[in-house]
Amino acid sequence: MVDKTSIQAAVVTALEKAPERKFKESVDITVNLRNIDMSQPKNRIDETIHLPHGFDNVKIAVLGKGDITTQAKEVNVDLIIGPEEIERLGGEPREARKVADEYRFFLAETAMMPLVGRYLGVRLGPRGRMPMPVPQGMDIRPIVQRLRSSVKVRTKDKKVFHAKVGTSGMDSEQIAENIDTVLRRVESVLESGAMNIHSVYVKTTMGPAVRVI
């Protein structure tokens, strides 16, 4: 496992080499794996990782009606979808794809899951964004707050994945701690841990990639 000092040094270099922009860019890592058969579902990664330092543009959608929508409004959830809207989106593939791409996490009342599966499953499932089922009476507010500081890491059959770990407006130390958190979690679910990680690169949206390990 690479130490956080080395990670931060790579982050500093990536931020310094990035072209100057008048807006905050995303900071992302690319992780290349090795010596692992990704055609086997058991070797694939599907993790929601809570970061020590969140960023403010993680979009969350809540699907349901009644109390869950009241709670969603209290924590300023980005999108609320009722049962009629779920069914309508099922007949609007272009709009449904846009929703699936734009929103990072989905929460849905458990009772709504069959409806979601029927009308939106084909859009959300392949993207790894099927909603987290929420039993009736559960308080979603702390869940939403936690997801706003989380990142989803999901691989398919490729030995490479990307993850957003911050923005160019964050301190390099904060970004480094986020990267360290992601790598430690990924190592914990890989068959051979750190030995399955071939290389890690960090970059801003428009900047060059800098090798971490």
- Provide mean pLDDT across the span 36-54: 94
Sheet holding 160-167, edge to edge: 160-167, 26-33, 197-204, 210-211
Looking at residue 86, its amino acid is I
Express each pLDDT in 117-164 by its tens digit. Answer: 999 999 999 999 999 999 999 999 999 999 999 999 999 899 999 999
pLDDT above 80 (res 183): yes
User: 153: which strand partners?
Assistant: 47
Grouping H, G, I as helix, E, B as strand and the rest as coil, residue 161 is: strand
Residue matched to tokens 């809207």: 85
End-to-end CA distance of the chain: 9
Residue 169 CB-density burial (10 A; 0-12 exposed, 13-18 middle, 19+ buried): exposed
pLDDT above 90 (res 55): no
Question: Phi/psi of residue 103, each to 5°?
Answer: -100, 130
Average pLDDT over the chain reads 94
Q: How many CB atoms lie within 10 A of CB 199?
A: 13
How many CA atoms does the CB half-sphere of 79 hold within 13 Å?
19
Q: Rounded to whole angstroms, how far apart are CA atoms 213 and 211? A: 6
Residue 4 CB-density burial (10 A; 0-12 exposed, 13-18 middle, 19+ buried): middle
Q: Rounded to whole angstroms, how far apart are CA atoms 100 and 26? A: 20
pLDDT above 80 (res 188): yes
Question: Phi/psi of residue 125, each to 5°?
Answer: -55, -55
Which pLDDT does position 178 carry in this prediction? 97
- The answer to whether 182 and 45 have CB atoms below 8 angstroms apart is no
- The answer to whether 202 and 13 have CB atoms below 8 angstroms apart is no
Report the alpha-carbon angle 29-32-38, nearest 5: 125
Residue-range domains of the chain with CATH: 4-55+151-211 (3.30.190.20), 60-147 (3.40.50.790)
- Provide mean pLDDT across the span 67-71: 96
Token digits of residue 203: 């970059």
Express each pLDDT in 195-207 by its tens digit. Answer: 999 999 999 999 9
Per this entry, what is the length of the chain?
Answer: 213
